[in-house]
Amino acid sequence: MIKKNVLILLVFISTISILTAEIWSDNGKAGYTGSSGESTCLNCHNSYALNSGGGSVIARSNMINWQYEPGQTYTIEVVVSRSGNHLFGLGFEAIDQTNQNAGTLLVSDAAHTQIKSRTINSVSRRNIVHTLNGGAGIDSAVFSFQWTAPLTNIGDLSFSFCGLASNAANNEAGDYVYRGEQLVSAMQTTGIANDQDSKNMLIVQNPCIDKLKISYTLSKPGTVGMALYAIDGKLIKNLVSIEQQAGSFSQTLEGLDAYPRGIYLLKALLNGKALSEKIVLE
């Protein structure tokens, strides 16, 4: 009789645990990034003021100058840091100007991140959030994932994100919350071959072996970005990301002998325009 009662009790506890998993879970929660219609992680972790305590949350990416090319997939990293903390959390979402999901968030590190959704103003917003203990780290944690840009130019969009620096005390007290937002704009996609104004903007040595000589002209001060892509559109390496004044310039990009011989794409951001040239490595 005692064994039967114990068995019933265990079944009851297991059932309650399943039903309340979302309530008791240490996993991240969607819909608390601080974007339109949302609160932040401060909604629960409210011991301290937002963005206090000397910590931070920042986003970084391999996209040039935070400008997206429609349909391209980028790597996003969000770094949450605060000295003395050893457990961190994340909520991240991408939304357009009408507060709809913008592009597609993709998990590339399932041990540390996952996708969850929460309905905000009748829209199911997809978020990248941390997994259970996925943000363990000394003084900081880096959450890495991917984002595929919308298939068409939808104009500006926003990355909204919230980071948590936890004291790992198994409750919501004593934690610090940090919020950030990044404006992401669409590239002006103008091809060299069909744009007379860009005819002499970018000149590339072709073919090349281990070094690539590039000449380009800036009509005004701005960001110069260059990256090497495989012919199927996969990013191989970011080559240049600098601020320069107006004028004519030359660059010699080395280390290309490390890549298999073949045809690649050199994509450049010059004068606010996205340009591309095929290059041949021999």
Check whether 23 has a pLDDT greater than 50.
no
Which pLDDT does position 20 carry in this prediction? 34
Check whether 6 has a pLDDT greater than 70.
no
Residue with token string 């203990």: 133
Domain pair 25-186 / 188-281, same fold: yes
Whether this prediction's pTM lies above 0.85 is answered by: no
Q: How far is 212 from 220, CA to CA, in rounded Å? A: 24
H-assigned helices in the chain: 2-19, 21-24
Which pLDDT does position 26 carry in this prediction? 59
The residues, ordered by sequence, that sit 6+ positions from 97 with a Cβ below 8 Å of its Cβ are 154, 155, 156, 157
Check whether 7 has a pLDDT greater than 60.
no
For the stretch 37-85, pLDDT in tens is: 898 898 899 889 999 999 999 999 988 889 898 888 999 999 999 999 9
Query: What ranges do the domains of the chain cover?
Result: 25-186, 188-281
Which of these, 88, 83, 73, 260, lies nearest to 175 by C-alpha position?
88
Which of these, 120, 116, 129, lies nearest to 88 by C-alpha position?
129
Query: What is the length of the chain?
Result: 282
Q: How far is 98 from 79, CA to CA, in rounded Å? A: 27
The residues, ordered by sequence, that sit 6+ positions from 282 with a Cβ below 8 Å of its Cβ are 207, 208, 209, 261
**188-281 is classed CATH 3.40.50.300:** no
CATH number of 25-186: 2.60.40.4060
For the stretch 78-106, pLDDT in tens is: 999 999 999 999 999 999 999 999 999 99
